[in-house]
Each structure stands twice: as C-alpha cells, then as structure tokens.
Amino acid sequence: MRWLTIALHEIRMNFSQKSIIFVIFIMPLILIFVLGSSLSGMNMFKQSDVEVEQVSAGVVVGGNSPLQQAFDEWTEHEKVKEYAAFKRYETEEELRRDVKNQIIEYGVIVPSPSQGSEQISITGIQGTLTITNLTMETLIGSFNAEVGKTIAAMKRGVDPAKLEELSAVEAAASPVAEAVIVKVNSSNTKMVSAIQYYAVAMLVMFSLYTGRGLAESLYHDRLNQTLHRTLASPIRMVDFVGGRMLGHFLFGMLQSAFIIGFSSFVYSVDWGYSTLVTLVVCALVLTCSLSLGLIAATWFKSQQAMKTFLETVIVFMTAVSGGFFVITAIHESVGRFTLSYWAMELLTSVMKGESWSEMLFGLSVLAGIACVLLTFSLIFVRKAVVR
C-alpha cells in the first residue's frame, strides 16, 4: 500500500504543476499538428497516382529451380524490360528495407518450391505509388499466366515448346485452361501518413521526458531537505523508490493514452490494429526513460547538468531515429542503436498492419534495452537517492 500511496502523491504533484501539464500534454499535440501538416508533402509520405515510365523493382530468388529459371528468363523479355528494371537481392530483409526507404519502388520474392508442393507463392511487396503497384501486379500476373499455361499444357500431354508464343504482356490476357499452380501474394507495406509518423515520433520523444521528471523530483527533495527526513521514517528504500517510479510510470501512461486518444479523435490518426502492442511499447519506453532518469540522478550532482544530459540524449535519439527528418544513411546505421528507433519502428509497424511475427524481433530488442537499463538503475539506485 505504501507504494500506491507514494505513487498517487507523485501523480498529484505532477498534475499540480501547470508547466508540466503544458509541456507533457499540450506541446506534443501542437508539434504533431505542425509537423504533420507542414511536412505532409515530403516524398516519403506521398501516396499518389503518377505516370511511371519504368518501375525500379527488386527481386529475391531462392535456389536454382525451373521456376526461378523461368522467372529470370521472363525478366529479360523485351516487353517486361520496358516496364520494369529488376535488381537482385540476397536476402528478403534487404529487399523490404529498400522498398520501405523508397530506394526501389516494388519488391518480388520468388521462393524455392517445397518438395511435393502443389502451389508456389510468389510475394509482391508494394511500394508507395498506386500506379507502380498496379503495373507490377499486372506484369507478375502475366508471368503467372505463362507458367500456368505451360503447366496446363504439360498436364494435357502437349509439348510446351509447340504452344503459341506470346509476349509477356499478351500472356496476361490469355485464358488458363486449368487451375494456376503459381499463387501471387501481395504483401502490402502500407505507408503511414505524415500526421501518423509524427504522432509516433512525438509520443516516443515526450515519453522519454518522464524519466527527467523522476530525477527532478529527487533533486527537489534533496534541495528542500525532505528526502533524508523521509528516509529516516519507517519507509523501506524499495517502497520509496518503487512508489516514485510507479507514480511517474502511471503518469507517463496517462500521457501516452491522452496523446493517442486526442490524436485519434481530433487528428484522425489511425494507430493500427493492436492497442495492446501500442501500450506494451509505451510501457517499455517509459521503463527505459525512468531507468535513464535514475542513472542520470546518480551521475550528476547538479540538477542542471542532469537536465542537459537527458535532453541531449533524448533529442539525439529522436533525431538519428528519424523523429524530425529521415536521413536514410543515419537512420539505418546510427539510429538502429537507439531505443527511439525500435519504439518508432514497432508503432509504425502496428499502423501498417504487420503481423506479430514480423514485430517479435523489434519487441525483443526494446525489451532487452529496458531490462539492461533497469538493471543498471537498480544497481545505483541507493546512490541516486541518498547522495
């Protein structure tokens, strides 16, 4: 009960300060509106129909098989080359990353057929432009029709070499006599809008300021000489620290819920299909933030030095993870080593409708960062409190 009493006291203290209410609750909403509105015209957020002369596409091809050989020959067809230029990739991860970063406009994954498999699934990874996606789906449909026509002929005992020769584009309109063996799966990498992107960025950034609030409350108690009097009373260190952390954690979750709710109803931000994943990510970010706050309170004797350190770290992580403006080279190199990067990746993945399996690695990384920071903060927590 002492934990809860201390936690509720911390929440009341935070709500009693008008400056905190403005910075934590109002400022993120202003920045979401300003950044989302002013930067919506950037290329990374455009989703419009444009005239495409030739699509820049990437392809990952599995082992050597008749299907892969047929696909390679098909990509060399004169008509296909007119509409698409294919670049080979070694791994699916590299292909998806380049589609996401708009280095290429579309991706195709041609798997190795499983032993005895009746159906082969070719995956198309959509980009941001509708007309590009339609062009590539039409082309892949033509390849599907050619393969189906050949398989149907072989089943009827007809030599495929004697079939009427059709161009890649003409084959798309040709009827297939039997069920097509090759199935085309469209993997829709739904792009987020500017307002969605900056709602995620500001939610993560301002959640990280929760740890600074915890550290400032410890400095405030030291300055007023109330901290030592509190510890002299029959209150255990674990109750005191646990209650403080719980109070700021709950305050941070209220902040996150307010930002998500307000942006959803007022700005029409679609936060995706899973509220559970969103809340889990928010909880992990807050855990990291509170741990950083305790560590900073341990390292720095001066409150101003602590604030400068935490603000620098928060702004740096937000910047390199693409929270203000995406610079691909920095985002994919330095940004990957920050917790802001993984939090933003997970929240935007929920918005895009990605599956749990696709987000599992990111959740594991963020949870690992939270565990490491929490462990370090608990090791030094006594020094942070009784300094």
The residues, ordered by sequence, that sit 6+ positions from 89 with a Cβ below 8 Å of its Cβ are 58, 59, 60, 95, 98, 107
Domain boundaries, the chain: 2-42+192-386, 55-187
Would you say how long the chain is, in residues?
387
> Which of the residue ranges 33-42, 144-153, 326-335, 353-362 has the most confident prediction, judged by mean pLDDT?
353-362
> How far apart, in whole angstroms, are the C-alpha atoms of residue 125 and residue 153?
30
Q: Is the pLDDT confidence value at 363 over 60?
A: yes
- At a CB cut-off of 8 Å and minimum separation 6, what does 118 contact? 181
Are the C-beta atoms of residues 314 and 205 closer than 8 Å to each other?
yes
Confidence class for position 157, pLDDT limits 50, 70, 90: low
Confidence band for 232, pLDDT divided at 50, 70 and 90: low
pTM, two decimals, is: 0.67
**Percent of the chain predicted with pLDDT > 70:** 75
40-49, 76-85, 273-282 — which one is most confidently predicted on average? 273-282
Count Cβ atoms within 10 A of the Cβ of residue 155 and give its class: 0-12 exposed, 13-18 middle, 19 or more buried.
exposed
Tell how many helices (H) and how many strands (E) occur in the chain.
18, 5
Radius of gyration of the chain (CA): 27
**Measuring CA to CA, which residue among 133, 131, 112, 267 is closest to residue 189?**
133
Chain segment 49-61, per-residue pLDDT in tens:
445 567 888 888 7
Distance CA 387, CA 384 (A): 6
Instruction: Please state, rounded to an integer, the average pLDDT across all residues of the chain.
Output: 78
What is the CATH number that goes with domain 55-187?
3.40.1710
Determine the pLDDT at residue 279. 92
